[in-house]
């Protein structure tokens, strides 16, 4: 994983665990961070706090960019390419969610990120 991914996660307020985490755990932390930021954006959207909503969507986009940047397209094959497309979809949909104040679009991205998390959590044994 690149430094930008770890830096993006650090911006979410994580103060422990990053330094000693293995690459699999770092990706888990990034996914968790993106989900957290999208949930916070929903909270602020529903409470009429536009600036805070936009800030959390921006952080989620940054974290997803870190995830996308960590993909090894050569070694990852079809899975890496599929994840790349999912991350592109998530980024575009988050931008639309921000401009349209769309909770539905935030929920769409949450659903994708939760599926990615479930898959990533499930392959832990294979990465050791």
Position 23 scores a pLDDT of 84
- C-alpha 114/C-alpha 112 separation (Å) is 5
CATH code, domain with 14: 1.20.120.340
Boundaries of domain holding 58: 3-127
pTM across the whole model: 0.82
Q: Enumerate residues 6+ apart whose C-beta is below 8 A from 50.
A: 44, 101
> Which of 14, 34, 79, 127 shows the shortest CA–CA distance to 42?
34
User: How many independent structural domains does the chain possess?
Assistant: 1
Q: pLDDT tens string for the chain (128 positions)?
A: 444 554 554 454 444 566 676 888 899 999 999 999 999 999 999 999 999 999 999 999 999 999 999 999 999 999 999 999 999 999 999 999 999 999 999 999 999 999 999 999 988 666 55
- C-alpha 69/C-alpha 83 separation (Å) is 11
What is the H or E stretch that residue 54 is in?
Answer: helix 50-69
Position 9 scores a pLDDT of 46
What is the H or E stretch that residue 13 is in?
Answer: none
> What's the number of CA atoms in the CB half-sphere (13 Å) around residue 104?
1
């Amino acid at each position: 994983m690149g430094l930008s991914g770890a830096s993006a996660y650090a911006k979410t307020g994580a103060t422990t665990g990053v330094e000693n985490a293995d690459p699999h755990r770092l990706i888990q932390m990034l996914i968790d961070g993106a989900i957290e930021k999208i949930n916070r954006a929903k909270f602020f959207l529903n409470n009429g706090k536009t600036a805070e909503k936009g800030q959390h969507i921006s952080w989620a986009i940054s974290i997803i960019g870190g995830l996308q940047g960590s993909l090894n397209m050569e070694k990852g094959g079809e899975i890496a390419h599929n994840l790349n497309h999912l991350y592109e979809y998530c980024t575009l949909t988050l931008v639309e969610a921000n401009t349209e104040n769309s909770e539905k679009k935030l929920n769409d991205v949450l659903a994708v990120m939760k599926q990615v998390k479930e898959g990533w959590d499930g392959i832990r044994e294979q990465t050791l």
